Chain A
Amino acid sequence: MNEAIPAAGKAVRQRLLVLYLGNASPDSPVVAWANYDGTGWPVDEAGECEQPPYPTALAAMRDGWRIVGFPPIHEPLPGREYETGHLHNEFILERLETVDVA
């Protein structure tokens, strides 16, 4: 990871890996994921990959990703305890990469 001031013709860009886990603990299994890559790679489309990039958020941390978004434990509204909706347990991880710029 390079967070020093980049050299001329270089810039630091952020890559985000968003992992949705089976429960609120970072060592629980990944059930969904997305990549948002500020270095210029196109955004993935739905259903592009069969296997998660890491089995857990903790495994991603051990590979150099830094957690920048740690989800609160989901607290349902009273009376809506049995409803399901969006995916909870959204862990946002980042890597900073130095890229060439014009």
Chain B
Amino acid sequence: MSPRDHLLSSKDMARFVAQGFLRFDELIPKDLCAEAIELFDRNAIQRVKYDHRPLYDCWPGLALREVFALPRVRGIVESLVGPEPQHDHYAIHTVAPQTKKGPNLHQDAEYDVRFEHFDVQVSIFFHDTPREMGGTLFVPGSHFRRVHESQIGRYHNIVGQVPTVCKAGTFVVWHHNLWHAGRSNRTDTMRYMFKVRINPTVKQLRLWDTADLHDPEIEKILGTGQPWYGQEGRLETMNRIRLWRALTGDPSFDIHTWLGRIENRPERIAEETLAAV
């Protein structure tokens, strides 16, 4: 089967727009997981590497190349950033046994004020990651927030936060601005998390399987807030409407008229006004 047979649905895309991430449990076959861990254990690849090149040209001859050749993985990545995705950088995140991390909630890199374009980051958990091993914490729905990297480290806990507790082979794809944190490893085993940042090389417009584009469930997904939004829930829904309009190419999409209402600036002169002139 080709990657085109494994594209995300519109409902999946709406979940990405709403939450800022999608998680696929045990997506990577166990044999590739074991090969990847073996590479990490013997330091067979650089820990961190930045360069722009085609994603599918990376890691020749290694298990990581095979991971990104899996049709389902390609279908997910290409639904979000399109064909010919570009590698930006990768990092093998390690937390040694019995290592305390402290508070480190952050948004990656520098201010990135792009709105209709976005990169994705992929986190792969190649081994079982129980709660005490400290898998990456994500804050759902935080990806539209303009904050400066680790300034948000002051926040220790946010209602609705999601620590990644998963089985080997779990694959998380997330918006580049999503708030996240590494956590303490209270086990006697090294924790690995492999992360890749991926850039689009095409306009992010209807790249997924749009057969269900008009499913009424989409409006519900996009309109469901997060428990930590408080008074800003409506503002975040407006952000989602704006991104959904861009991704679908439909400038009329709205939820409860929240954007349409503030865009309503009629220029037509009333007949009564004209008659009175």
Contact = CB atoms under 8 A, between A and B. Distances in A.
Given A34-B155, A85-B146, A86-B151, A21 B103 contact: no
B157 interface: yes
A84 B146 contact: yes
B159 A82 contact: no
Interface stretch (A5-13, A38-46, A58-66): A38-46
Of B101, B232, B235, most buried by chain A (CB within 10 Å of CB) is B232
B227 A46 contact: no
Given A44-B103, A45-B184, A32 B157 contact: yes
Chain B contact residues: helix, strand, loop or mixed: loop
Given A33-B157, A52-B157, A21 B230 contact: yes
B183 A30 contact: no
B226 to A, nearest CB: 9
A77 to B, nearest CB: 12
Contact of A31 (B144, B152, B229): B229
Contacts of A85: 145-147
B144 A84 contact: yes
Contact of B235 (A31, A35, A49, A82): A82
A31 B145 contact: no
Given A31-B227, A31-B229, A47 B157 contact: yes
Chain A contact residues: helix, strand, loop or mixed: loop
A3 interface: no
Contacts of A93: none
Contact of A43 (B103, B144, B229, B236): B103
A75 interface: no
B210 interface: no
A85 to B, nearest CB: 5
Interface in B142-166: 144-147, 151-159, 161, 163
B159 to A, nearest CB: 5
B156 A33 contact: yes
B181 interface: yes
A102 to B, nearest CB: 24
Contacts of A86: 145, 147, 151-152
B137 interface: yes
Contacts of A46: 101, 103-105, 137, 153, 155-157, 161, 181, 183
B247 to A, nearest CB: 19
B23 to A, nearest CB: 16
A41 to B, nearest CB: 13
Contacts of B47: none
B32 interface: no
A32 B183 contact: no
Contact of B236 (A18, A33, A44, A84): A84
Interface of B: 100-105, 137, 144-147, 151-159, 161, 163, 181, 183-184, 227-232, 235-236, 238-239
Interface of A: 18, 20-23, 28-35, 42-50, 52, 82-87, 89
Given A22-B230, A31-B158, A52-B159, 11 more contacts: A30-B159, A32-B157, A33-B157, A34-B157, A44-B156, A45-B181, A46-B101, A46-B155, A46-B161, A48-B156, A86-B145
30 contacts: A23-B230, A31-B230, A32-B158, A32-B159, A32-B228, A33-B155, A33-B156, A34-B103, A34-B157, A42-B102, A43-B156, A44-B103, A45-B183, A46-B137, A46-B155, A46-B156, A46-B181, A46-B183, A47-B156, A47-B161, A47-B181, A49-B156, A50-B157, A82-B238, A82-B239, A83-B235, A84-B145, A84-B236, A84-B239, A89-B230
